[in-house]
Amino acid sequence: MQKSKRLGGILLIVGTSIGGGMLALPVSTAAVGMTNSVFFLFFCWLVMTTGALLMLEVNLRLPAGSNMVSMAKATLGLPGQIVAWMTYLVLLYTLLAGYISGGSDVFHGLLQKAHIDVPNIVTSLLFTLLFSLIIYQGIRAVDYVNRGLMFGKLGIYFLLVFMISPHVDLPKLTGGSVGAITGSLMILITSFGFASIVPSLREYFEGDVKTLRQVILLGSLIPLLCYILWDTVIMGVVSRDGDQGLLQLMQSDHATSGLTDALTNAIHNPWITGFFSFFTSICMITAFLGVSLGLFDFIADGLKLKKVGHQGKLTLALTFIPPLAVVITYPGVYLQALRYAGVCCVVLLLLLPSLMAWRGRKNDRDGDGVLVPGGHFSLLLIGVIAVGLLMIAL
């Protein structure tokens, strides 16, 4: 049973990470180039995984069920609580808006291929309504649904990589500019923004520190390897320039469906097109489920609402209505949402955890609860990196 839960936890992290980030990376890093992208992907993985471990460290010092608001209040007082409320809501609402936008775009594209033309507002509503019902059933339901989707997603991922690899044109992987990273760094950060579900995982694993550490490390390492391989095959097949090039897609309101079309025109293989469309759909769903679960639990904790009954339905409405309203108003918000979410990720999943851990370690004299080595120096380093990332983004 524990091994099954461990696998489920790893897949929840992988599913939360490999979603919009996976689809956006080749587009957002096209100007940076392949070699530079690998370096920055590794850097973002290392920093964000450290932030996730710091968040777990802080959460374990509080009662089970505590989320970011309770953690910030207990360690940083009212100012920390206010910052946590604001950044967490903006982060997860922004991510959800991005995933609803991307998911409805993929859904709309699939319906158009079936010669069914419906407005974007309808696909957004259907996408949100269908998968929000799973969130209402709780983390166990999300876990089992996510497992099935993840096995399918990873299987199709490796099949796509195998099928696309022979078409890779190595000269397309050369070039790029390090300076261009300023425009895409926040998307890379967002691609590893899985720490929002760490409090939910702590409750799910009943505070088993050893298992939780394994789940976070393995669950974050898989997306890193998948991102590098994915960037290689997509950037090696789809041209950087041109009308359907990766740089042009950065300016498009339909980046997800546009990437499918660009891949189709580059390879002319209906099997690859079909698998890619299915893959993009599952990516959006698994990321949507992971982020929705984190926001649902956050709102329930922050407002002291139950997750079932009338209060559960109110929590569900507060979770999904705001991002859905954003998508209905701005349907092409996908890539922009991921960039804005990156800024919030830095504040919430790097800066705040380092500050909270600093405060928490003052009361932990024997050091038993420390999960990130290096003492206060490592905390200071993460804080400085967070501030530096914010200066680049802003």
Among candidates 392, 393, 303, 390, which has minimal Cα distance to 354?
Answer: 390
CB 303 within 8 A of CB 70: no
Across the range 350-369, mean pLDDT stands at 82
% of the chain exceeding 90 in pLDDT:
17
pLDDT on residue 20: 62
pLDDT tens for each residue of 62-113: 888 788 888 898 899 999 889 888 888 888 888 888 888 877 777 777 777 7
Confidence label for 366 from pLDDT (cuts 50, 70 and 90): low
Across the range 261-265, mean pLDDT stands at 80
Across the range 195-199, mean pLDDT stands at 86
pLDDT on residue 382: 94
Question: Is the pLDDT confidence value at 199 over 80?
Answer: yes
CB 388 within 8 A of CB 188: no
Among candidates 257, 262, 233, 230, which has minimal Cα distance to 246?
Answer: 262
CB 53 within 8 A of CB 371: yes
pLDDT on residue 169: 86
Separation in Å, CA 73 to CA 119, 175, 204, 221, 249: 44, 47, 22, 31, 42
Question: Is the pLDDT confidence value at 56 over 90?
Answer: yes
pLDDT on residue 49: 95
Question: Is the pLDDT confidence value at 55 over 90?
Answer: yes
pLDDT on residue 378: 92
DSSP 3-state assignment of 158? helix
Question: Is the pLDDT confidence value at 387 over 90?
Answer: yes
% of the chain exceeding 70 in pLDDT:
95
**Weakest-pLDDT range from 77-81, 190-194, 205-209, 276-280:** 276-280
How many angstroms separate the CA atoms of 344 and 84, rounded? 10
pLDDT on residue 364: 66
Mean residue pLDDT across the chain: 84
pLDDT on residue 367: 61
pLDDT tens for each residue of 200-250: 888 888 888 889 999 999 999 999 999 999 889 988 888 887 776 787 777
Q: Which residue has the higher pLDDT, 85 or 383?
A: 383
Q: Which residue has the higher pLDDT, 253 or 102?
A: 102
Q: How much is the pTM?
A: 0.83
Q: How many other CB atoms sit within 10 Å of the CB of residue 348? A: 28
How many angstroms separate the CA atoms of 234 and 251, rounded? 18
pLDDT on residue 361: 83
Q: Which residue has the higher pLDDT, 133 or 40?
A: 40
Across the range 25-52, mean pLDDT stands at 90
pLDDT on residue 215: 93
CB 87 within 8 A of CB 356: no
pLDDT on residue 264: 79
Question: Is the pLDDT confidence value at 252 over 70?
Answer: no
How many angstroms separate the CA atoms of 198 and 56, rounded? 6
Separation in Å, CA 366 to CA 120, 237, 309, 372: 56, 54, 43, 15
Question: Is the pLDDT confidence value at 253 over 80?
Answer: no
Q: Give the contacts of 313 (CB within 8 A, at least 6 positions apart).
A: 136
CATH fourth-level superfamily of 2-393: Amino acid/polyamine transporter I (1.20.1740.10)
Question: Is the pLDDT confidence value at 251 over 80?
Answer: no
Across the range 135-146, mean pLDDT stands at 81
Confidence label for 353 from pLDDT (cuts 50, 70 and 90): very high
- The DSSP letter of residue 291 is H
How many angstroms separate the CA atoms of 326 and 128, rounded? 13
Buried b (16+ CB within 10 A) or exposed e, 107-126: bbbbeeeeeeeeebeebbbe
Across the range 121-137, mean pLDDT stands at 83
Count of H helices and E strands in the chain? 16, 0
CA 79 to chain centre: 26
Separation in Å, CA 139 to CA 101, 180, 201, 209, 347: 24, 39, 9, 19, 26
pLDDT on residue 256: 67
